[in-house]
Structure 1
Amino acid sequence: MEFKTINPQVIAQFRSGHEIEGVPGVTRENHILLTTLGRKSGRRQTIPLRVFHTHGDRLVVVAGNGGRAPNPGWYLNLLAEPRVTIEDAAETYDAVATEITGGERDELWQLFKEQNPGMTEYLAGAAGRVIPVIALTRSRAAK
């Protein structure tokens, strides 16, 4: 799947309120649009991401990059600037991105694999790198 081709279509369908067509498993209920500040370009960049866990004001995503070996650009962007914007099916709000590490990361990664058994094969190309697990926490000022 070529993200540069499919992501603009997914973003347009998401923002229009329509169901997402042409990408298995992508729905308005299990995805968000994440906008980061480009670390090189300085421009705002938006990508669709699947949320696999929520806890209060915190959404959890993984930086799988379609199973490719390098970390995705959006992940590198949020390392440089962790303040992001989230669009879900109901609203748009500011959040702060934090990489989850240690035991909590291990527990969430196990939960991810249990919830997404087909993803193990999908992410096999990322062999050699630890796939980052990211918390997106709603900014308190945004409430």
Structure 2
Amino acid sequence: MSNELTRPARLPPRWVVRLAWKAHRAIYRVTRGHVGLWSSKPNRWGAARLTTIGRRSGEERSVILGYVRDGPNLVTLAMNGWAESEPAWWLNLRANPEATVELASGRQRVRGRAASGEERDRLWAQWQELDTNLDAYAARRPGETAVVILEPTSDSAGN
């Protein structure tokens, strides 16, 4: 067995991950949304801006996430940069599943839920095709990483 297979996947230090996402959000903000979001393609994930309602504050909270498409749905991973804790956006979405997603192509209202069973396995495999280290990264977390489905609602134009 090669050392590559037995070594855990290496991640940059936590501060680098946090700095990269902060810089991404700043670029999005400074360009007023003209830069920072892109569409997913069959061999590449996209970037979207998810706005949830804070479970404690009741105020809007936004985050930029990677996603892949599954038919009309967007699929993302509740990974928090592979840190142990659940990302705040996922905790907010579990408390109030109604949210807004801003894509490179426009805005839409969505309802979030966790995939389970065969659906989760299929969607996890889709992400594995894009990132061969996915299982090694996920193994760093104490529990199972939620595969989150964002389903468009009938009010798909957003607000």
TM-score range, shorter chain: 0.7 to 0.9
CA distance in 2, matches of 1:7, 1:41: 23
Cα drift, residue 51 of structure 1: 0.5
Moved more, 36-45 or 5-14: 5-14
The residue number in structure 1 matching 2:148 is 134
CA distance in 2, matches of 1:68, 1:8: 16
Q: Deviations over 1:75-130 (max 9, x none)?
A: 1100000000101112112111111111110121122112211334443421x200
Q: Is the 8 A contact 2:108 2:155 kept in 1?
A: no
Q: Kindly report the root-mean-square deviation, in angstroms, between the aligned alpha carbons of the 2 structures.
A: 2.0
4+ runs deviating over 6 angstroms:
none
Say whether residues 1:42 and 2:42 are aligned partners: no
Say whether residues 1:96 and 2:111 are aligned partners: yes
CA distance in 2, matches of 1:64, 1:117: 16
Cα drift, residue 142 of structure 1: 2.1
Say whether residues 1:33 and 2:49 are aligned partners: yes
Which has the larger Rg?
2
Q: Which residue, out of 53, 78, 81, partners 2:69?
A: 53
The residue number in structure 1 matching 2:93 is 78
Cα drift, residue 4 of structure 1: 5.6
Q: Which residue, out of 130, 133, 147, partners 1:115?
A: 130
Percent sequence identity over matched residues?
27
Q: 1:28 is matched by which residue type in structure 2? A: W
CA distance in 2, matches of 1:42, 1:66: 24
| Count of residues in correspondence between the two structures | 134
